[in-house]
Amino acid sequence: MKDDALRLHGDRFWISPYVFSCVVALEEKGLAYEYVPVALDQRAQKSADYARRSVTGRVPCLEHGAFSLAESQAIVEYLDDAFADTARAMPTNIQHRARARQIMAWIRSDLMPIREERSTTTMFYERAKSPLSDKGVEHATKLCAVADAVISDPGQYLFGAFSVADADLSFMLHRLILNGEAVPARVKAWAEFVWKRPSVQKFVAVKRDPYVEY
């Protein structure tokens, strides 16, 4: 591997929302990278070699030459720092960037009923068969309310220029949209607008292996 080569270790089924964030960032920045599938169903992330690279034993993990880094938000911000002469993955304005971080951190730490009941397998493999629980409905309502509060126009990105925060929020909303859940028209229009972004479609439209439960 070249000293400055980029390799992104991600799940082999291409369903991780965290790998998604990193793929979008790499594509937006126009960086050449190798995608290295990790067989989570075979516990490949538990191997000594992968644990050494990632430190936390999780996907995604970015290798940049001899340096490696896990955790998606850290990777996205590292790419902006390391490749400052390419398109930004995060907003340039300090307050916009802070808000983007808030949105991304919230998506990663809240809304668990949605993540459990409308897992990413229901987005890319088989749709959910059961209705949302009361908790699921409560969190779906909260998600849509937050999205409505931060969206200024259904045909514009959150901070003028596209950022990974747009992609992450759209991804979370699509857990509902793709499963036929009720989403306010304005919020749905915005999420579908972002979903068409080429960097987003790079992940969404990839040809996936048959899914194996793990």
- Please state, in angstroms and rounded to a whole number, the distance separating the CA atoms of residues 103 and 214: 29
pLDDT for 2 equals: 55
**pTM of the shown model:** 0.94
Lowest-confidence region among 49-58, 92-101, 184-193: 49-58
Q: What CA–CA distances, in Å, run from 16 to 89, 120, 143, 176?
A: 18, 7, 19, 16
What residue type is 55 in one-letter code?
A: V
Helix (H, G, I), strand (E, B) or coil at 159: strand
Q: Which CATH number is 6-88 given?
A: 3.40.30.10
Q: pLDDT tens digits, residue range 117-138?
A: 999 999 999 999 999 999 999 9
pLDDT value at residue 53: 80
Q: CATH 1.20.1050.10 residue ranges in the chain?
A: 94-200
- Can you give the pLDDT at residue 44? 66
What is the C-alpha to C-alpha distance for residues 65 and 46, in angstroms, rounded to an integer? 22
Residue 35, beta-bridge partner list: 8
Domain with CATH 3.40.30.10 in the chain: 6-88
Picking from 35-39, 42-46, 117-121, which range would have the lowest pLDDT averaged per residue?
A: 42-46
Residue 24: φ, ψ to 5°: -60, -45
Task: Average the pLDDT over 71-100 and give the result.
Answer: 97
Q: What is the DSSP string of 34-54?
A: EEEEE-GGGTGGGSHHHHHHH
Q: Return the exposure string of 66-92: e unless at least 16 CB atoms fall within 10 Å of the residue's CB, then b.
A: eebbbbbbebbbbbbebbeeeebbbbe
Q: If one looks up domain 94-200 in CATH, what number appears?
A: 1.20.1050.10
pLDDT for the residue 4: 86
H/E element holding 20?
A: helix 17-29
